[in-house]
Structure 1
Amino acid sequence: MIDLVGTASDGEAALRLIEALQPEMLLLDIAMPGLDGIGVAKAMEKAAHRPAIIFCTAFDQYAVTAFDLSATDYLLKPVAQDRLARAVSRVVERRREPADERPASEYAQEFWVPHRSEMIRVAAQDIDRIEAERDYMRLHLGQRSFLLHQTITELERRLDPANFIRLHRSTIVRRDRIARLSHDGMGVWHAVLTDEERIRIGRTYLPAARALMGR
């Protein structure tokens, strides 16, 4: 059962209501007069009471920032009722978890990527490889792929180095997807993945790649 305890038309009013009402969950738009939704979420990082945040907005370019601010979900307008219901259910489930059972890893366990009119959750463990495409990163998951608006350097920092390795200035690969390393002569090496995809290893990243072989 969800109770609506208050509404606000701008960010400053939202902060006053949050302080007064101490809600467990916020539904935030990005575009608001004065302080925007991202500003409200940033203010919550310093607050003693931190409600769960679900963004409902027409702008897809703020999704990475939103999840960096620990948003539970990021919904694109027009918001489907069942999609909102799933997001709210996720908040309820997380609130029921004992604090000591919640994941505390400093690395990202999941990414939210735009797909048509929705934001899709991609688990980090399901990613096979990542390739740079200009200002975007393409996340490959089996036969599917999704674009994430982030630089490869930023994304590399968010990934657990125990699970992922950078092989080229434009490529990151999940370690357990590497089947073998192939030396093709003239100092050229490739990583051959479990699906037989060949990834050229950049000279800068070759020492780390060869360390996989214990060399």
Structure 2
Amino acid sequence: MLRALAVDDERPSLEELLYLLSADPRIADAQGAGDATEALRRINRALESGPGGPDAIDAVFLDVHMPGLDGLDLARLLSGFAEPPLIVFVTAHEDFAVQAFDLGAVDYVLKPVRAERLAEAVRRAAHLRRTTARISVSEPDPDCLPVELGGVTRFVPVDDITHVEARGDYARLHTRTGSHLVRIPLSALEERWRPRGFVRVHRRHLVALRHIDELRLDAGAVSLRVGGEELQVSRRHARELRELLLRRPRH
């Protein structure tokens, strides 16, 4: 079950949102904050108390336009946290959806809020929380990475991972048999796994050199095949990638 924080500077909207959240059986607790600054204080206090602490917050249901620090500003700040809560935007403004999803938002709900639409956002957040491994970036680099699926923890060997795709504050690990979502930034995995032969080929992709099947050059554009998928290689990474592949022995 989710412990939720609703953030809105308009009192009637905040009360309506809290009422709808409290009525959802997947919400264990719903608290309110009247602005993003107050919300940030609560989130910091929650993180200090730990995941199981009395002030813990799993998901923030956040308006965009607020005086002072707005919702997008708060989401940007939270994206730098090692263990940020999930973000669902609840707003009357359609124009910020792209920015919201770029910041890793789980969903973008438009006002006036319909109960069934908010319930779908709660379902997505609850599902993501269940299926996401909360991994600390300070942990040592293990041979296997723990991931959760439906309450069951599995251990994925790092050597089986063909490539990793950035999803905001999350990363999707791809193997030849499936994929897994973990709550850790791509930049942290890049730093951790570089000694194991992983290299950045694009702002969104990290690949294991051992799993690259093919490198293509077509009209100046560079791409590669890994794990049955074709990925684009950015210009700034193409030269380094070719040099690494030429130096690396293939089996």
TM-score of the aligned structures, taking structure 2 as reference length: 0.43
Runs of 4+ in 1 over 4 A off after TM superposition: 59-62
1:197 matched residue in structure 2: 229
2:52 matched residue in structure 1: 31
Alignment of 1:57-72 (within 5 A): 63-65=134-136, 68-69=138-139
Higher strand share: 2
2:176 matched residue in structure 1: 142
Change (3 A) 1:123 1:197: same
- Show CA shifts across 1:50-99 (max 9, x none): xxxxxxxxx8678312x845xxxxxxxxxxxxxxxxxxxxxxxxxxxxxx
Give unmatched runs, 5+ long, in structure 2: 1-49, 56-128
- Show CA shifts across 1:27-49 (max 9, x none): xx942469xxxxxxxxxxxxxxx
Change (3 A) 1:62 1:176: closer
Change (3 A) 1:207 1:107: farther
1:209 matched residue in structure 2: 241
- Show CA shifts across 1:168-213 (max 9, x none): 111111111112210011x2101123x4421110112112111013
TM-score of the aligned structures, taking structure 1 as reference length: 0.50
**RMSD of aligned C-alpha atoms?**
2.6
Is 1:183–2:204 an aligned residue pair?
no
Aligned residues: percent identity?
A: 25
Aligned length: 123
Shift of 1:120: 1.9
2:200 matched residue in structure 1: 166
Alignment of 1:49-198 (within 5 A): 63-65=134-136, 68-69=138-139, 107-185=141-219, 187-193=220-226, 195-198=227-230
Give unmatched runs, 5+ long, in structure 1: 1-28, 35-58, 70-105
**2:134–2:184: 8 Å Cα contact kept in structure 1?**
no
**1:108–1:159: 8 Å Cα contact kept in structure 2?**
no
